[in-house]
Amino acid sequence: MTKRRDFIRHSITGTAGLAIGVIGLGSEANASTNMFNDQVQTDELDLSKETQPQKGVPRPIVPMTEETLGIKPRGNYGSLEAPMQTMRSYRPLDLNAETWKKRNPGRGFNEWAVQARKHLMSGLNNYLPPVDLNASTLERLETDSFIREKIEFNTTPWFRVSGFFYTPKNVPLPAPALVVLHEWGGPMLFGADRICGEPVHPIIIKHRETYTSGRALADWYASQGYAVVVIDAFHFGQRSPRGINSLPDSFNAKDLDEATLSKYDSLTRENLYLSVRELNWAGTTWAGVNYGDDSRCVDYLLSRKEVDGARIGCTGLSGGGWRTNMIAALEPRIKATVTVGWMTTGDTQQAYNLAGAVGSFAMLPGVWNRLDIPDLISMAAPKACMVVAGTKDPLFPPLGKNEAFRQIADAFAWAGKPDHFKSYTPDKEHCYDLDIQAEALAWFKKHL
């Protein structure tokens, strides 16, 4: 039983190496992980009672029409649409918080959350061995409100990532900190540069005008008193592939004219599903790689004396919102999150639109058989989680957003922390604009 419990603890806390196996991080990370283990009372749970999926019995699914979804379906799979929806009805979703609670009267939130985290971690299939971050600062810029460093550090023995770290000025140090995650949609040859610093290319100006009211999101949070770390996600920015599919072996995206940038961006996108296959063959998943890298960002923050390790949050838009969902679910050292532009339910999203909304980052075979998207935030309790979904956001149907919010609110009430969840539904498109930024800042100020 001891070995089994050790394995479960390894699974539900992220990975054993995230907080306690990283060389040179000291006691803060250990203390945070121990607090998380105490929170879910892992050693006291009898996981022999784990709920097993009910096989061979389809779930009743509400017919997904324009009337029920609240919007006209956009992603029809032609003659295969009906079989696909029927196939999905056979997915038991037995680890969905609402379903599990109904089937297990008298059992508590923590029992469900342990099982849910374990299942999610298993589906990520990402092994993170201990690693020395070996962080370095390549450049340093000082402004009136912050110091911005261009940085590099190791997330695994095989990945060294680039990004930025901000130290706020005019606030007491150590300061609260944020992991800020860039979007999926946009120019793939840029990652952290989208939300950090002066625009390095005209396309960045356009991108910011569309999504963040022209602001460099990381700079703005730093100017509000937060230490900030941002990295390039896998396949973005400096981590996009070179030397394949007619892409040169070496180039700097900021030096490309718009026509060449557009050409290279298209070639990079053509590699997306090759990347998914390569990662699967290597024994992992896109979501697993990105979760591991994002969690290592917390390690990096804890290595900086300017950061208060007890006050760390995470936020992002769109694909960055999805990554925030994963961090909320699994990273014990994160205390507060703001997810912007990525919340729905699986049933509604399949019927409405998968092609335009669900990227490679969401593909986890087996996970969505038993869990649903809202469970990522539900299992985050008692962290403080705000989820933002614009009523005009065309990526997700109203039914999916509203049902997700209802389930999450019920789960936080079940966990005894109803005030630690907030849904915010502005009359907006898919964006992280000035109004949303103000709401997010207020949330972080309250909880960090």
Here the tokens at position 262 are: 């557009």
Q: What would the two tokens of residue 346 be?
A: 């699986």
Spatial distance between the Cα atoms of 401 and 423, rounded to a whole number of angstroms: 10
Residue type (1 letter), 46: D
DSSP designation for 184: S
448 strand-pairing partners: none
The residue type at 60: P
Query: In b/e form, how buried is each residue of 213-237, taking b as 16+ CB within 10 angstroms?
Result: bebbbbbbbbbbbbbbbbbbbbbbb
Whether a cis peptide bond, with omega within 30° of 0, leads into 187 is no
pTM for the full predicted model: 0.88
Report the percent of the chain where pLDDT is more than 70: 88
Two structure tokens written together for 130? 């201990």
Per-residue pLDDT band for 5 (boundaries 50, 70, 90) equals: very low
Residue 176 DSSP one-character state:
E
Q: Across the chain, how many H-helices and E-strands are there?
A: 18, 9
Which of 268-272, 309-313, 393-397 has the least mean pLDDT?
268-272
For residue range 46-73, list pLDDT tens digits in order: 555 666 666 678 888 878 888 999 999 8
* N-terminal to C-terminal alpha carbon distance within the chain: 38
Cα–Cα distance for residue pair 236/278, rounded to 1 Å: 16
Q: What is the CATH number of domain 1-238+283-448?
A: 3.40.50.1820
CA distance 34 to 26: 13
C-alpha distances in Å from residue 140, one per residue of 81, 143, 204: 53, 10, 21
| Domain definitions of the chain by residue range | 1-238+283-448
Closest CA to 245 of 219, 273, 217, 220: 273
DSSP string, 199-245: -SSHHHHHHHHHHSTT--HHHHHHHTT-EEEEEPPTTSGGGS--SST
For 201-251, what is each residue's pLDDT tens digit?
999 999 999 999 999 999 999 999 999 999 999 999 999 999 998 999 999
Question: In the predicted model, what is the mean pLDDT of residues 70-91?
Answer: 87
